Amino acid sequence: MNKRDTAVAELEGRIGHVFADRDLLERALTHASVGATSPKTPNNERLEFLGDRVLNLMAAERLMELRPTAKEGELSKLINQLVNYQACAQVGREIGLPEALRLNAGATKIGARDNDRILGDACEALIAALYLEGGLEVARAFFREAWISVFDELDTPRNKDAKTLLQEWAMARGLPVPAYVVVGSTGPSHAPTFTIEVRIPGFDPETAQGGSKREAEKAAADLMLAKREKDA
């Protein structure tokens, strides 16, 4: 048994389900980058689409059980904390997805195996695979166990991110809302690196990079805040 076969077996142990349909499991774990060298190889993009819908249903169902008096607005905010690529990536790491993923060598070399977006999509694809093979009960059993840590964080005070803090800093001084401009993008489509510049009139812009536009924007805002604090 090679290293990846061992990782896949360990993954099945953690999720509590051994797949009868091995092709379905392989498809859930196969990133689109593999298609760059093997165009006919099925990848997990369609499964990710289905898994996102199944995940939303299970998260909404569980929230209704746990928060019987919560209003629709509160439930909507909470579900956004449960169903997003960061939460899925967190679960993916906990169950050992990075080691079990099937990527091409180029994607692996640039760190795609630990990319939040890629892990999040693969986690949703895995949910779809569980749903297709075992039905909603099998998918739900995995979700309720795997998302325990995510539910535990629902009531944890959430610190404001750098973008929010920078906007508040600008508004307090009568300045326009910070503008974020994409000034560059490199890497393959499945694992891009974005370069973002944040601009506030009267101040030097700051530039940062990230694996998503949002990550790069936060990093640029953090640099701008650090510079303003230094100058204060």
Residues 16 and 111 in one domain: yes
Residues 48 and 130 in one domain: yes
Residues 67 and 46 in one domain: yes
Nearest to 29 by CA among 89, 103, 83, 90: 103
Residue 86: give its domain's CATH number: 1.10.1520.10
Does residue 222 lie within any of the structural domains?
Answer: yes
93: its two tokens: 């790491």
Q: Is the pLDDT of residue 40 over 80?
A: no
Residue 204: give its domain's CATH number: 3.30.160.20
Residue span of the structural domain in which 69 resides: 3-152
Residues 123 and 33 in one domain: yes
Cα separation, 23 vs 72, whole angstroms: 40
Nearest to 117 by CA among 90, 139, 86, 149: 86
Q: Which position among 52, 121, 206, 217 bears the catalytic label?
A: 52
Q: Is 23 a catalytic residue?
A: no
User: Is 98 within 8 Å of 106 (Cβ atoms)?
Assistant: no
Does residue 157 lie within any of the structural domains?
Answer: no
Q: Which position among 48, 124, 217, 222 bears the catalytic label?
A: 124
Answer yes or no: pTM beyond 0.85: no
114-121: average pLDDT? 89
Q: What is the domain count for the chain?
A: 2
Nearest to 194 by CA among 182, 202, 205: 182
Does residue 27 lie within any of the structural domains?
Answer: yes
Tens of pLDDT along 125-168?
Answer: 999 999 999 999 999 999 999 999 899 888 776 556 788 888 88
Q: Is the pLDDT of residue 184 over 60?
A: yes
Q: Is 52 a catalytic residue?
A: yes
Cα separation, 114 vs 34, whole angstroms: 16
How many other CB atoms are there within 10 angstroms of residue 55's CB atom? 23
Residues 27 and 115 in one domain: yes
Which stretch of 82-86, 153-157, 173-177, 208-212 has the lowest confidence by average pLDDT?
A: 153-157
Which of 152, 185, 211 is the endpoint of a domain? 152
Predicted confidence at residue 38, as pLDDT, reads 58
Residues 72 and 142 in one domain: yes
Residues 40 and 91 in one domain: yes
Q: Is the pLDDT of residue 200 over 60?
A: yes
Cα separation, 59 vs 46, whole angstroms: 20
Does residue 131 lie within any of the structural domains?
Answer: yes
174-200: average pLDDT? 89
